[in-house]
Amino acid sequence: MGESGRKEWVYADIVKGERLPDITYTVTSEILENYLEGIDDLNPLYLDEEYAKKSPFKGRIVPPISMAIYTTVSSLIRPMGLKIPPGLVQASQKYEFTGAARPDEELLIKSIVEDKFEKKGRKFVRLRSDVFNQKGEKVGTSWLTPIWSK
């Protein structure tokens, strides 16, 4: 089903405490190298295995902020067959990095509707996503709080 055929996830349908479907993603070496080239980041922790082996990480890692690509509202609700309504505005976002992800490692995202509230006539939804590496260790948490348009 194309994006236009998906039902919108409207504020009235969102339930505080609702768990979203788990999703997985892998930052392959190819994706990583293209991403780093695109943002012009030549940090050897991301690109040079020999250098990275001598670091506290003991090998190459993925830039922690790459988590932001996979924890967008649209990415999180796509497995539900839903789309965000037009006019959604990102009010705030916060990330906490607690571990390191490695290139070519499958990561698991577990998300929940942490809160839903109205303030000054606007509808807010706070989504929390915990990201885990293949060993089951949490490598980060994302909090997104958009203003819902519908």
Residue 4 confidence (pLDDT): 58
Query: Could you say which DSSP state residue 49 is in?
Result: H
Kind plus residue range of the DSSP H or E element containing 114: strand 106-119
Q: How many CB atoms lie within 10 A of CB 8?
A: 14
Residue 104 confidence (pLDDT): 92
Residue 32 confidence (pLDDT): 86
Over the stretch 104-137, which tens digit does the pLDDT of each residue have?
Answer: 999 999 999 999 999 999 999 999 999 999 999 9
43 within 8 A of 32, measured Cβ to Cβ: no
Long-range contacts of 119-128 (CB under 8 A, 24+ apart): 122/147, 123/11, 123/147, 123/148, 124/91, 124/148, 125/11, 125/14, 127/20, 127/73, 127/76
Task: Identify the structural domains of the chain with CATH numbers, from first to last.
Answer: 3-27+63-148 (3.10.129.10)
Residue 70 confidence (pLDDT): 83
Residue 67 confidence (pLDDT): 81
Residue 51 confidence (pLDDT): 95
101 within 8 A of 77, measured Cβ to Cβ: no
- Does the structure show a pLDDT above 50 at 47? yes
Over the stretch 25-37, which tens digit does the pLDDT of each residue have?
Answer: 998 888 888 888 8
Instruction: Tell me the C-alpha distance between 62 and 19, whole Å.
Output: 26
Over the stretch 48-88, which tens digit does the pLDDT of each residue have?
Answer: 999 999 999 999 999 888 888 888 888 889 899 998 899 99
